[in-house]
Chain A
Amino acid sequence: QKEVEQDPGPLSVPEGAIVSLNCTYSNSAFQYFMWYRQYSRKGPELLMYTYSSGNKEDGRFTAQVDKSSKYISLFIRDSQPSDSATYLCAFQRGGSQGNLIFGKGTKLSVKP
C-alpha cells in the first residue's frame, strides 16, 4: 500500500463550480496535513494546513481531515480560472527535521 494516494486527474470544471480534491494516507504517524498549490513550472506554495480531524476554512477553501479513515479533502467554492493549478496534498512525519511526503498532485483546470 502506498503511503499517500491522490488521483492525478486532470479535473476540469466550469467557473463557479465547487471542487473536491482528496487524498488517502496509510501512515498514522503523520502529524500535519497540508495542501499545496503549484502553478506550472513553479515551486509549490502552502495553501492550507491542519493537524486535527475536522474542517478548517479559509475564504473559498476548506480543508477537511478524517483521521479515522485516513482521508483528507480540499474543497474550493466558487472556483475561478486563477485556481487552475496542480494541488498536492502533503503530510509531515514527526520530528523537527521531518520531510514532507507528497501526493502525486491533481491538475485542476477551471474554465471561464
Chain B
Amino acid sequence: GAVVSQHPSRVICKSGTSVKIECRSLDFQATTMFWYRQFPKQSLMLMATSNEGSKATYEQGVEKDKFLINHASLTLSTLTVTSAHPEDSSFYICSARFPHMDPQGYTFGSGTRLTVV
C-alpha cells in the first residue's frame, strides 16, 4: 500500500510563532491531499483540500491566512500554522488521495501533535 510520511510528529512552539508541517507521499504521486484537525475526543475535521499546482480549498470557518497550505509538487504538501496561539494546539493529520487504489485510496500520515505555549 501507499505510504504517507508526516513530519514532525510532535512540536511545541511559542505563541506568535509559525510552524510548518510536512506531508509527503513516498510511493505514488498524490494530486490531492487533505488536511484534518482532531481535538481530544472529537472526530477528524477537514480543514482544507490541497490540489497540486493550485490554491487549496478551505472548509467553512477555517482561516486561510492562518493555515497556509502549499502543494508545490505531486509528492509534498505543507501546512503552516502562522502566528500560532494556544487554541491552535491540536492533532493535525494529512491524507493523500490515490484514486487508482479506490476504495482504499486514502492514506493517512501519522499525525502531528502541536502544542502552543
B interface residues, tally (CB under 8 Å): 25
Which of B70-78, B80-88, B105-113 contacts the other chain? B105-113
Contacting residues, chain A, for B111 (C-beta < 8 A)? 41-43
The complex places the Cα of A57 from the Cα of B51 at a distance, in Å, of: 35
Q: Does A13 contact B (CB under 8 A)?
A: no
Interface centre among A6, A45, A99, A102 (most CB of B within 10 A): A99
Determine whether A46 belongs to the interface, using a CB cutoff of 8 Å to chain B.
yes
**Known A-B contacts A99-B49, A104-B42; A43 and B109 likewise in contact (beta carbons under 8 Å):** yes
Q: How far is the CA of A42 from the CA of B51 in the complex (A)?
A: 24
Interface residues of A (CB under 8 A from B): 6, 8, 32, 34, 41-46, 49, 51, 88, 92, 96-97, 99-100, 102-105, 107
